[in-house]
Structure 1
Amino acid sequence: MAAPAVPAAPRLTVTGGTTAGTAVREAGLPGKDEDGVVVVRDGGGQLRDLSWTPDVDTDVEAVAANTPDGRMVIRHSAAHVAAQAVQQLFPEAKLGIGPPITDGFYYDFALERPLTPEDLAAVEKRMKQIVKGAQRFSRRELASVEAAEAELADEPFKLELVRDKSGADDPEVMEIGPGALTVYDNLDPRTGEAVWGDLCRGPHVPTTKHIPAFALTRSSAAYWRGDQANASLQRVYGTAWESQEALDAHKELLAEAERRDHRRLGTELDLFSFPDEIGSGLPVFHPRGGVIKREMEDYVRRRHIEEGFDYVGTPHIAKEPLFHTSGHLPYYGEGMFPAMQLDGGPYRLKAMNCPMHNLIYRSRGRSYRELPLRFFEFGHVYRNEKSGVIHGLTRVRGFAQDDSHSYVTPEQAPDEIKHLLDFVLSLLRDFGMDDFYLELSTRDDRPDKFIGSDEDWAAATEVLEDVATASGLELVPDPGGAAYYGPKISVQARDAIGRTWQMSTIQYDFNQPSPERFNLEYVASDGTRQQPVMIHSAKFGSIERFMGVLVEHYAGAFPAWLAPVQVVGIPVAADYGDHLEAVARELKAAGIRAEVDHSDDRMQKKIRTHTTQKVPFMLLAGERDVEAGAVSFRFRDGTQVNGVPVAQAVATIVGWVARRENASPTAELLAELVQAG
């Protein structure tokens, strides 16, 4: 599913001394409904309320409700309404922060007790009353920090923000903007009196009536500023949209996502589990899940070898100083498990494979004639993820990376990055994912997070950006998201229901090969010793995570080439089981995973069972099939093709699997194959 097109932003001029809302009305732009203008964007890219009044004529862009920025403003405004409702129902509640997030919003509160589902229903009911009341959002600047402290004397968390961050451009604190402290009051439309207010930088929709569709979704525990050492809070989550239709579509997407949840399907299909005896975030694969994992590994291993990679292997632990040399300690220290004492010194579980690949490179002298030199392995790594972020297979503590490192001359780097990007995209397409965009992660100004010179970072970023742009895919900036050692390209893939998953990464590393780190060298054509560029790439990211994504992408109905059981024979009666066993033997001889169901269940129950287990090919056999030397096909969608000769049936299945078809087989597709010969 492609992302919906973002409507073009109309441009207009706000006359000095008048409001942006006046300019919107005079331009004839809508003020209501899903395409209604809710804010404007000034020339500096800042979003402004429609009540904003510039001193001079100013060109702006109108921002409609049904755009990403418009939805963000609606959701932030809905968060304020939620906070107002909570404080009206629970006057003792103290306010934390309430930012918009992907597809929704949250607000944190200090409360005397946890909120119940009944409490959330009451809060949502009160929110509807506030929205119906058409309260106006009104921005007000506070004259000083002292004025803010006086006004917020009963709000300890807001006071902390004012005292610690006032006037600072700190991205961690969304409620305080640079240069001024502002409050947004909610005004009664009849009296003009403020009925509630919150410290906030805005902007907001004009009135609560511009929040046409919302719902509270859940509550959870939280901590002030995300630190468990701080106060315990209650977090209320919600979602808000530009129309009831958009909200309904979002709810249906959530319902479909629930039906596709890989954790539930993993249990139903007997693929994997997370035994408590092993520990959180450490999966085990059952035989059927093991089939899928092996198929993924075998295929991607073969593709790497075809693409010029040498297969290597490295251990799970290493002496701690290795990770100081690589820079992972201290830059990635929090993501690594604590040290263990062996042989009189500290060892670490590895969280990445690159330091060991560097040692393989450094094991002997290298010539420029060997470059690009490409190493690849399924390296099992361990990362000390916090318990709150562990999520099925998609966020685990132990996983196998399809990890590779290319060592190239600086001149070879652009071509190698293009080669890797083409390889990544072809692999994802092989597994049925073909809707992508790219994200370019770069450094910011935090000296404690990144190493290397500005010049090296600029050169590396330019190479990645040029290759990403030349790919023709959408390129989205991600400032500050780079690894400590260099910038990276991430492939973002959309699944069957339009959700985005970060998949593969390609990272440009000029730091680990340096003399201060591993001192990697090659002998150049002129006899001098030069430093190679190291390019990290992971195609799946991890086998575990990619399997979780595939389970959800296919809703458990894997393509036949990946399916744990590709064919099940279902005899109409026990007398016909031997016929299907003979067919199964032919299929197994051709490398197909085939079984025959000899259980005592009735045929229709067997069909239901194996349809639920999402087997792509079911072969039925009754008296006529046996007499004719044939079978009847039954498919996951319920369609059926009767009386197919056994030789043709076997050839059809073998051909389908060999071609790695990602579509589910159906009677219609089978008929097309038969017709085509």
Structure 2
Amino acid sequence: MIHITLPDGSRKPFEDQPTGLAVAKSISEGLARECVAMEVDGQLVDLNRTIENDAAVRLITTRDPEALEIMRHSAAHVMAQAVMHVYPDAKLTIGPVVEDGFYYDIDMQPLSEEAFPEIEAEMKRIVKAKIPVERHEVSKANALEFYKNEPYKTEMISELADGTISFYKQGDFTDLCRGPHVPHTGFVRAFKLMRVSGAYWRADQSKAQLQRIYGTAFFDKKQLKAHLEFIEEAKKRNHRKIGTAMDLFSFHDDAPGMAFFHPKGMAVWNALLDFWREAHREAGYVETKTPIILKRALWEKSGHWENYRENMYTTEVDDEAYAIKPMNCPGGMLLFGTRPHSYRELPLRVAEIGLVHRHEMSGVLNGLFRVRSFHQDDAHLYMMADQIQSEILDLLRLEEKMYSQFGLDFHLELSTRPEKSIGTDEQWEVATEGLRAALDAYGRDYLINEGDGAFYGPKIDLHIKDALGRTWQCGTIQLDMSLPERFDLTYVGKDNEKHRPIMLHRTVFGSIERFLGVLIEHFAGKFPLWLAPVQAVLLPINDDLIPFAEKVASTMIQAGLRVEVDDRTESLNRKVREAQLAKTPLILTCGGKEKEAGTVSVRTLDGSVHYGIPMQQFMQQVTAHVAERRLELDLFEK
């Protein structure tokens, strides 16, 4: 007799060893039809797996969050099977699930999206057939024999430990896989192939280049349709496209992965950093600046040379090895050590907008989101142990205040010690519990990412949510008890003895470049007035009114506003349209009536027009709006 304990605490007896499907059917046929897999004593397994002993079982249906990932993994197999039917000479490598879908890397002839309809048609045939997906376990020797003509699978199997190896079979297709998978191919109900790109086997440029085919899948067509509409909206908001159209920045082959900011891009950049500096001054920070190139010995001392060397650019100066800094931390340590410190100074909050360089593979570079050169809004906070919680709480409140300025919400994640790390077990325990206690006191829910901390300490990551519901990890708070020890940092305590400070690393925006890219997509280029590269454009309706427009512009510029006069010999309608395409918040028409009355007529991006606003009133409203950094353009009554 086997007893199955269900999530509600009830126990169901079975005479024989049941499968998950049998357990589901014992509850209802409807439930069985929607079951994708099951969790047995906390482990996800296939629904048709036999339960050999008494166990706690949770049935995974299409409504559970785990189900989508399982189905998408199966969708990757369906796609691979279809590709093998259409291109029999193709060689398979791996096909994992990724955010929003899946991909499969395949050694085959170069592929374009024009081939997708044929592959999708074959996928539909496989799905319609509802082919059972069956798990088989074989010895390593038998697995190697089965794949003797498949070089990539053979290579992967050879690296596995001796023992049984699992395969999944659906009809004429078999793949090496851990699983679990859906019971049959019919669960892949709504799918679409998205794009194809090149990828090197195991990300090694010396190895074969493969075709990486991306796809997505959902349990129903409505979900797929909504996702595709989301993708189209995201394309419209693409920061590279908008940034080019608004003349904000560019990239060049002579400096791959390094952004060139144009004058209008610098206007946004400076407005962003003016806000950053003001918020940090109010929070008690001082600002510093450290060199971008430092000796190898310093990076060895910090642990970066051993733990981060593959991401660093190096050079030689006077026969000595140097590295361009990938992080600001070691320079910050040197600054702290330039003079004695007293406990009365602590906490000491030291910020830096540091230019850093990190080597990224060319295939992962992505506009402002993934670059090789960027500015990090770093800060190092030095404190005593009894100040940890209050400082982290203050940091969380600062980050919340700054994100809210852009209408951004966020969620929190606590990342613990990774396998590759420095420091003692005791240091990691104190640091991790310090972060956890602060999060508990802050009062917001948070997730735990086991093993995802920095090599020198655990961290809190802040993931902001944009207008499309996408999340971006930007802010981070990392508690470090190792670097102060490595650099022998001390302060003199109340007892007149030297003590080791606790240190926090933290960012708010993270990479300024990346955060700016997020803002471009969040606002779709329609920045709040205080952040817009050009806040107002003046359109004289004829050449005689150009001096009047220039006089108004001069008044606005003297008040600190970013203004342009469009005095081209184009029609007024065309200039209005181009200003709208440039996403200029305020479009001022300068006509004879306005000149005579000392007023302005203003068009905003929502299409509304406000006539005859007295110039003095207009200036008061606009300058107050910008000074307050208001999010919504609510200058005028409608």
Pair in the same fold by TM > 0.5: yes
Change in 2 beyond 3 A, CA 1:15/1:655: farther
Q: Distance in 1 between matches of 2:352 and 2:26?
A: 63
Q: Distance in 2 between matches of 1:231 and 1:598?
A: 56
Task: String of CA shifts for 1:549-575, please: whole Å, max 9, x gaps.
Answer: 111111111110011111112233344
Contact preservation (8 Å) 1:12, 1:27: no
Q: How many aligned residue pairs are there?
A: 630
Contact preservation (8 Å) 1:12, 1:61: no
In the alignment, does 2:385 pair up with 1:442?
no
The one-letter code sitting in structure 1 at the alignment partner of 2:178 is R
Shift of 1:14: 6.4
The one-letter code sitting in structure 1 at the alignment partner of 2:637 is A
Contact preservation (8 Å) 2:357, 2:373: yes
In the alignment, does 2:77 pair up with 1:80?
yes
Q: Which residue of 1 aligns with 2:600?
A: 631
Correspondences of 1:593-608 after superposition (within 5 Å): 593-608=562-577
Contact preservation (8 Å) 2:536, 2:563: yes
Task: String of CA shifts for 1:513-538, please: whole Å, max 9, x gaps.
Answer: 11xx2011111111221111111011
Task: String of CA shifts for 1:207-266, please: whole Å, max 9, x gaps.
Answer: 111111111112222233333333332221111112111111111111111111111111
Shift of 1:11: 7.9
In the alignment, does 2:429 pair up with 1:463?
no
Unaligned runs of 5+ in 2: 1-6
In the alignment, does 2:39 pair up with 1:63?
no
Correspondences of 1:378-389 after superposition (within 5 Å): 378-389=353-364
3-state SS, counterpart of residue 510 of structure 2: coil
Q: Distance in 2 between matches of 1:12 and 1:497?
A: 41
Segment drifting more, 149-158 vs 593-602: 149-158
Q: Which residue of 2 aligns with 1:4?
A: none
Q: Which residue of 1 aligns with 2:4?
A: none
2:532 aligned residue (552, 563, 576): 563
3-state SS, counterpart of residue 670 of structure 1: coil
In the alignment, does 2:636 pair up with 1:670?
yes
Correspondences of 1:422-441 after superposition (within 5 Å): 422-433=397-408, 435-441=409-415
Q: If the length of structure 2 is used for normalisation, what is the TM-score? A: 0.94
Q: Distance in 2 between matches of 1:560 and 1:67?
A: 43
The one-letter code sitting in structure 2 at the alignment partner of 1:22 is A
Correspondences of 1:367-516 after superposition (within 5 Å): 367-433=342-408, 435-444=409-418, 446=419, 449-514=420-485
3-state SS, counterpart of residue 608 of structure 1: helix
Shift of 1:31: 4.9
Q: Which residue of 1 aligns with 2:169?
A: 185
1:547 aligned residue (489, 509, 516): 516
Q: Which residue of 2 aligns with 1:287?
A: 263
Contact preservation (8 Å) 1:617, 1:636: yes
1:318 aligned residue (294, 298, 301): 294
2:234 aligned residue (254, 257, 263): 257
Q: If the length of structure 1 is used for normalisation, what is the TM-score? A: 0.89
Structure 1 ranges of 4+ moved more than 6 A: 9-12
3-state SS, counterpart of residue 181 of structure 2: coil
In the alignment, does 2:197 pair up with 1:201?
no
The one-letter code sitting in structure 2 at the alignment partner of 1:649 is F
The one-letter code sitting in structure 2 at the alignment partner of 1:642 is Y
1:300 aligned residue (270, 276, 295): 276
Task: String of CA shifts for 1:354-373, please: whole Å, max 9, x gaps.
Answer: 11111111111111111111
Q: Distance in 2 between matches of 1:166 and 1:10?
A: 39
Change in 2 beyond 3 A, CA 1:344/1:152: closer
Segment drifting more, 215-224 vs 454-463: 215-224
Shift of 1:272: 0.8
Change in 2 beyond 3 A, CA 1:13/1:272: farther
Shift of 1:635: 1.0
3-state SS, counterpart of residue 280 of structure 1: coil
The one-letter code sitting in structure 2 at the alignment partner of 1:443 is R
In the alignment, does 2:83 pair up with 1:106?
no
Contact preservation (8 Å) 1:10, 1:61: no
In the alignment, does 2:337 pair up with 1:362?
yes
Unaligned runs of 5+ in 1: 1-8, 168-178, 187-193, 673-677
Q: Which residue of 2 aligns with 1:327?
A: 303
Q: Distance in 2 between matches of 1:628 and 1:11?
A: 79
Change in 2 beyond 3 A, CA 1:23/1:307: same
Q: Distance in 1 between matches of 2:424 and 2:369?
A: 34
Contact preservation (8 Å) 2:96, 2:103: yes
Contact preservation (8 Å) 1:11, 1:62: no
3-state SS, counterpart of residue 540 of structure 1: strand
In the alignment, does 2:184 pair up with 1:218?
no
Task: String of CA shifts for 1:581-626, please: whole Å, max 9, x gaps.
Answer: 3432332232212222211111111110000000111122334434
The one-letter code sitting in structure 2 at the alignment partner of 1:41 is E
Change in 2 beyond 3 A, CA 1:13/1:234: farther
In the alignment, does 2:69 pair up with 1:42?
no
Q: Distance in 2 between matches of 1:91 and 1:533?
A: 61
1:117 aligned residue (113, 119, 135): 113
Q: Distance in 2 between matches of 1:612 and 1:367?
A: 56
The one-letter code sitting in structure 2 at the alignment partner of 1:211 is V
When the two chains are superposed, the root-mean-square deviation of aligned CA atoms in Å is 2.1
Correspondences of 1:520-535 after superposition (within 5 Å): 520-535=489-504
Contact preservation (8 Å) 2:415, 2:452: yes
Aligned-residue identity in percent: 42
